[in-house]
Amino acid sequence: MYTEKLTSVKHPFEPVVDKDSRILILGSFPSVKSRENMFYYGHPQNRFWRMLADIVKADVPQTIEDKKNLILSNGFALWDTLAMCEIHASADSSIRHEVPNDIPGLVKQYGIEAIMFNGNAAYRYFEKYYGKDDGLEGIIKKALPSTSPANAACSYERLVGEWGSAVNELKEKILKEKRY
């Protein structure tokens, strides 16, 4: 049992998605720094934005608007698995009394074809709430290493390699099925 003081927190921002989004990238829940900055992956040591920019061969985005443009201009959507939870600081391992986001609703509304999970916690919570009967038959799902600074054991090169391979594989599958 987690012994630190937990704070009840509601997810503070909306998903980044539009009609051209085909691959949904799901995290678990925003870190303290992300909540302070009011946008996804706001911790300066989180490797998400640099990694994604390297994969799609773009400049590393600096502003929230640049980050949204990077996501949307490459056919991605961005959200988190959880809408609300009790959490200590930014520790996924401390999460309790979680409430999931309506991921099946978003997927159906926008025609999402694949989901990439940023880390085991995002995948684990998705499976807990939607794994048995998620209504998402035919949606490709891929769990990937977390870009969090807490996952320091995973090198930047490994992140780019695994995420880059997954992006290329998913886009190829979607194109092959004429869904991208």
Nearest to 86 by CA among 168, 10, 177: 10
**What digits encode the pLDDT tens for the residues 150-164?**
898 999 999 999 999
Q: Report DSSP letters for 88-148, one per residue.
A: STT-GGG-EEEEE--HHHHHHHHT--EEEEESHHHHHHHHHHHSSS-S-TT-EEEEE---S
Return the pLDDT at 164.
98
Domain boundaries, the chain: 7-176
Return the pLDDT at 180.
47
Q: Say whether 101 is catalytic.
A: no
User: How far apart are the C-alpha atoms of 48 and 40, rounded to whole Å?
Assistant: 9
Rounded to a whole number, what is the largest CA-CA distance in the chain?
Answer: 50
Q: Is the pLDDT of residue 133 over 80?
A: no
Which whole number is the average pLDDT over 111-133?
93
- Bridge partner residues of 80 (DSSP): 27
**What digits encode the pLDDT tens for the residues 68-85?**
999 999 999 999 999 998
User: How far apart are the C-alpha atoms of 20 and 153, rounded to whole Å?
Assistant: 34
Q: Provide the pLDDT confidence category of residue 15 given band limits of 50, 70 and 90.
A: very high
Q: Taking each helix axis from N to C terminus, what angle separates 156-176 and 48-56, rounded to the nearest 10 degrees? A: 50
Contact 19, 72 (CB under 8 A): no
Contact 108, 16 (CB under 8 A): no
Which whole number is the average pLDDT over 114-138?
91
The CATH number given to 7-176 is 3.40.470.10
Share above pLDDT 90 across residues of the chain, in percent, rounded to a whole number = 77
Helices and strands per DSSP (H, E), number in the chain = 6, 7
Given the structure tokens 């988190």, which residue do they identify?
A: 80
Q: Provide the pLDDT confidence category of residue 88 given band limits of 50, 70 and 90.
A: confident
The residue from 37, 46, 118, 168 that is catalytic is: 46
Which whole number is the average pLDDT over 97-117?
96
Return the pLDDT at 3.
62
